[in-house]
Chain A
Amino acid sequence: MSKKRGLKFYLSIYRKILIQDLKSKMSYRADFVISTIGMIMTNLAGFITFIVLFHNFPTINGWDLNHMLFLYGFSLLALTPVQCFFDNNWNLRTHVYSGDFIKYCFRPVNIFFYFMSEVFDVKGLGQLAFGLGTLIYAWAKIGIPVTFLTVGQALVFTFTASLFMIAIMNVAAATCFWIQGSGYVMVIMFRFKDFARYPASIFNSVFKAIFTFIIPIAFVAYYPSLVFLQPDNVPVLTWLSPLIGLVFFFLSYAFWMLGVRKYDFTGS
């Protein structure tokens, strides 16, 4: 009687919703063009700030421009999934406070999936292009060998690094099930992503511990990049980071779903 909904079902549903969403987005041409330009400008501004900064400080804690560019590109790549696929987290509190959230609870699919599937943010694609370009440039300048191993590592580590930022945003968004001012929590958490561009070694030990274990921003770029930038001296945390990423993601998902279950949905 009951129908099975596995990974294949979810992928196919996501693809169908995505196609429809893109189609309708492109029908609003002005909106599409302006957001594309906005995205390019944002990334360009970030990039220029970065270059200007380096013009004045040739190295930061032993990291030269190319290393920093590698870190920068890596962080942009790792931040793409949260931007593209989990952007609806930003709307969660509006849906919850207005009572609209309940509509996500009436479908025979996972609530977290159904909610996130509603929004795909195209702006993330520009970030992807910028990140990829920067990373490839830095990769070539530093002279990291291109082998199956290094490319494979790059794929695995960017994927798992992306889980950390997703986890942070899931938790920040889900706070709206308990508190009123969750908008601030989200904005603050989102600001932390900027720290991902810098080597965690420049922070003192207290901040380093915070950015590693509490708000795991150092895992977004710093730890995984060490595989490529300091291959002789890779800390254990780096090798464990894919596993830690999965754990963080799962915990954040569990927290999000707990919020849904505990929420009273008062009012009609």
Chain B
Amino acid sequence: MAQEAIVMENLCKDFKVLNRREGLKGSIQDLFSRDYKTVSAVKDVSVTINKGEIVGYLGPNGAGKSTTIKMMTGVLEPTSGKILVNGLVPYKDRTRNCENIGVVFGQRSQLWWALPLVESFKLLRDLYMVPQKEYDEMIELYRSLVDIEPILHKTVRQMSLGQRTLSDILAAFLHNPGIVFLDEPTIGLDVSMKSKIRDLILGLNKEKNTTVILTTHDMGDVDALCKRIVIIDKGSKIYDNDIEHLKTYFGSYRTLRVRLDNNDTWEETLIDEKTTDVMTVITEYQKSHKVKDIQLQEISTEEVIKKLYEGGSV
């Protein structure tokens, strides 16, 4: 088998949207002559993702993340371009593709609402035709990674949001798929649940070498899980590299914070280390004031991403 889990080449997706005219007269006109415009949701995206990678797939709202994921899962057909998931064309081979992927959509559970979790697991085992031995091993692995006893016999209806998300993630990994898509898995969760879920995803990725595609707006998720991130905006890919590289994307920025004399407030200076030396700035301060305290801060992923979304171009 090839080393690539996902290959996308020049992938495009257009939607036809009805151009609505204004007012009552416009609505009546719309009934008789329809005027469509084409909206490109995904434009010329090429990404290759290897087996076992955890990739953060980021972008502002409406950037085309979900559309890409829907194409990877075989729900939508690309308008043009090539896409291969585990060596299959997802749209043409939806059923076979589904055997080897798992999907979690943050807010909506895919489990049977009225059934205890363990019964949902058993139905999924049969649905994916997982041999009993592999199923038992997986449940054992789950037990070693997270405390599943309290939720195993609860129905999804009775669960808290955190427990439900946990259940959905466990269900997505149950048939040991090659790739798992996680769409905003930690949305709305408390801090402790977030970290529990991050640990679980890391643990499963390590044990089963599962490729994970993660979309999120929570930079905590990205920092905790992803080595590599892909960012798209307005349908086009604008970044695809290591997370470490991202921090130096706009130059090697660091923030120097100094407290001078007996002042209680911090003064902040953003320093591009490529052009200026931190020591020079400190010396500069010391010429005129007495420096009481110094802090040096790395630029956070969140700040870089924010800058990127706000239109920092390549």
Contacts and interface: CB of A to CB of B under 8 A. Distances in A.
Interface of A: 2-3, 5, 9, 12-13, 16-17, 20-21, 24-25, 99-100, 102-103, 105-110, 118, 261, 264-268
Contacts of B129: 3, 5, 9
A268 B127 contact: no
Given A102-B105, A108-B99, A110-B95, 6 more contacts: A17-B123, A105-B94, A108-B95, A261-B77, A267-B66, A268-B65
A13 B127 contact: yes
Counting chain A CB atoms within 10 Å of each CB, the highest count among B77, B99, B128, B183 belongs to: B99
Contacts of B77: 261
Interface string B105-149: 100101010110001001100111100000000000000000000
B15 A107 contact: no
Contacts of A20: 112, 115, 119, 123
11 contacts: A5-B129, A13-B123, A16-B122, A20-B123, A106-B101, A107-B98, A108-B127, A110-B95, A265-B70, A266-B15, A268-B66
A268 B155 contact: no
Interface string B78-112: 00000000000000001110110101010010101
B73 interface: yes
Interface string B239-261: 00000000000000000000000
A103 B127 contact: no
Contacts of A5: 95, 129
A107 B114 CA distance: 19
Interface string B215-229: 000000000000000
A186 B76 CA distance: 27
Contact of A16 (B76, B98, B123): B123
A109 B128 CA distance: 9
Nearest to B114: A24
Contacts of A110: 95
Contacts of A265: 70, 75-76
A133 B98 CA distance: 46
Contacts of A102: 70, 75, 105
Contacts of B114: 21, 24-25
B235 interface: no
Nearest to B130: A3
Nearest to A4: B129
A266 B15 CA distance: 9
Nearest to B172: A106
B185 interface: no
Interface in B39-98: 65-66, 70, 73-77, 94-96, 98
Interface of B: 15, 65-66, 70, 73-77, 94-96, 98-99, 101, 103, 105, 108, 110, 112, 114-115, 119, 122-123, 126-129, 155, 183
Contacts of A25: 114
Contacts of B95: 5, 108-110
A100 B113 CA distance: 13
A103 B99 CA distance: 14
Nearest to A110: B95
Nearest to B62: A268
Nearest first, the 10 closest Cβ-Cβ pairs linking A and B are A268-B66, A24-B114, A108-B98, A108-B99, A103-B110, A106-B103, A105-B75, A3-B129, A108-B95, A2-B96
Nearest to B122: A16
B99 A12 contact: no
Nearest to A106: B103
A57 to B, nearest CB: 45
Contacts of A103: 105, 108, 110
B2 to A, nearest CB: 14
B97 to A, nearest CB: 8
Given A20-B112, A21-B114, A24-B114, A105 B96 contact: no
A12 B122 CA distance: 13
A105 B73 contact: yes
Contacts of B110: 103, 106
B129 to A, nearest CB: 5
A189 B221 CA distance: 49
Contact of B126 (A2, A16, A118): A16
A99 B126 CA distance: 26
A21 B119 CA distance: 10
A268 B119 contact: no
A162 to B, nearest CB: 26
A236 to B, nearest CB: 40
A20 B121 CA distance: 12
A12 B96 contact: no
A13 B70 contact: no
Contacts of A268: 65-66, 105, 183
B115 to A, nearest CB: 5
Nearest to A104: B110
A24 B127 contact: no
Contacts of A100: 108
